[in-house]
Structures are given as C-alpha cells and as structure tokens.
Chains A and B, each alone.
Chain A
Amino acid sequence: AQKITQTQPGMFVQEKEAVTLDCTYDTSDPSYGLFWYKQPSSGEMIFLIYQGSYDQQNATEGRYSLNFQKARKSANLVISASQLGDSAMYFCAMSGYSGSARQLTFGSGTQLTVLP
C-alpha cells in the first residue's frame, strides 16, 4: 500500500520569499511517480510538477522545484519568490497501481498563505 504524509497543515510565507512544503511517502513499488497539485479556493486541482522515481535530477517548473531525496522518501516542494496568488492548498500525490488501475494517492494537504 502507498501512503503520502504532509505534516504541515498550514504555512505562512512573506511575499517574494521562498517556502518549502514537506512531503514524505511510503511505497514498496520500485517504480513510482510523485506529483504536486495546487487547489485554490475555486476547487480545481492544478498540476504543478512531477518527479519520477528513477529521475536523477530534481524536477523544476518555473518557480516550482521538487527536492527529491529518495533515501529519505521525501519529495518536498519549493516555491521561490512567493506571490499572493500562490495562496492555496497544496497536495502531494503518488502514482501507483491498485489492481489493474493506475491511480493517485494524495496527502492531506498544506494550506499556504502568502502575506503581503
């Protein structure tokens, strides 16, 4: 079974500063993917960044980067130069198979608030 743990229910960051959102995972699968999603108050889940378990380099997408430490089973999201529009819920997720279906398992989320 797969498990995703996000230990920070809420985080605050000053505008233009960087922030790290923590995510640890547990799986017995040798091959897996890790994702981060952003959920604004409107409800839609927005895909941000992906990291494969065999990727040698940390993933980056614009202001988002994923600090992947495989031995520690962590996949923290780093947001640089925070903007007010970054205030939202952030979810870490892992892809894997359950039976014949590929699915995402989500963590409980971190509510990020960017302060002006």
Chain B
Amino acid sequence: ETGVTQTPRHLVMGMTNKKSLKCEQHLGHNAMYWYKQSAKKPLELMFVYNFKEQTENNSVPSRFSPECPNSSHLFLHLHTLQPEDSALYLCASSQPRVGAMNTEAFFGQGTRLTVV
C-alpha cells in the first residue's frame, strides 16, 4: 500500500460535469497539498491544509473547491471546468515540524485530468 493514494488515475470530463478527485494518505501526516502540473510548466501549488484547516489558496478559480474532512483525506471538487484546466493534479502530504525545513513532501501518482 503506497503512502499517498489518488483516485481516479485518469479522468475525462465535459465542461458542464461535476467530479471529485480523492487523495488519501496513510503516513500520519498533518499537512496535505494539491498541486497542478501542466505541460511544460512548473508544479503550481493550489491549496494547503494544515491540521484540516486551509492555510493557503494560491488564487485558484472557484471552479476548484477543496475539502479536507480529516487529516488523512483530501478532495478536490471540480465543476464547470475549462479545457485549459486539463493537467496532472498531484496530491502530497508532509509532517510539518516547527522550524524544520527538511520535511519532504510525499506525493501520490496523480490524476490526469482531461476536460473536453
């Protein structure tokens, strides 16, 4: 069982659909993240949750709606997306320690989203 699991691995949706991406971590971490990876662009941080509280929203359009019901699960709800939202969406988790910079993030395998 991998540390961070994302489902589905692939998703094709129309612009009027509503879908959700799911992320689950089995590492006991308290921080979870959503990243977007578009072709030929660096990973873009979308949302950060620390202890189930959203602490970061990097100017993400409201058609992306995150949800963190507990420290092990993270969702990304999608509605009325645009074709340019097609990308690989990566979930990550880490265990923040005060003052420490060496806490690496563990990533899931991502959901490859195609909006048609």
A interface, CB within 8 angstroms of B: 4, 31-33, 35, 37, 42-47, 50, 52-53, 91, 95-96, 98-109
Which of A44, A102, A106 makes the CB contact (< 8 A) with B108? Answer: A44
Q: Which residues of B contact A37 (CB under 8 A)?
A: 107
Q: Chain B residues near A107: list those with CB within 8 A.
A: 42
Nearest chain B residue, comparing its CB with the CB of A92: B42
Chain B nearest CB, measured from A51 CB (Å): 9
- Minimum C-beta distance from B38 to chain A (A): 11
Q: Which of A31, A42, A44, A103 contacts B33 (CB 8 A)?
A: A103
8 Å CB interface, B88-116 against A:
88, 90, 92, 94, 96, 99, 101-110, 112
A101 to B50, CA, bound (A): 7
Q: How many inter-chain contacts with C-beta < 8 Å in the A-B complex?
A: 68
Chain A neighbourhood of B45, CB < 8 A? 103-105
Q: Which residues of chain A are near B40, meaning CB under 8 Å? A: 108
Q: Which residues of A contact B110 (CB under 8 A)?
A: 43-44
Q: Shortest distance in angstroms between A21's beta carbon and chain B's nearest beta carbon?
A: 15
B residues 34-65 near A (Cβ < 8 Å) are: 40-43, 45, 48, 50, 55-56
Is A52 touching B102 in the complex (CB atoms < 8 A)?
Answer: yes
The 5 A-B pairs with the shortest beta carbon distances in the complex, nearest first, are A33-B101, A45-B107, A43-B110, A101-B55, A106-B43
Q: Is the CB of A99 within 8 A of B56?
A: yes
Write the chain A residue with the least CB distance to B2.
Answer: A44
Q: Which residue of B lies closest to A35 (CB)?
A: B104
List 7 extra interface pairs beyond A43-B112, A96-B101, A102-B96, CB under 8 A. A37-B107, A47-B104, A50-B102, A91-B43, A98-B56, A101-B55, A109-B42
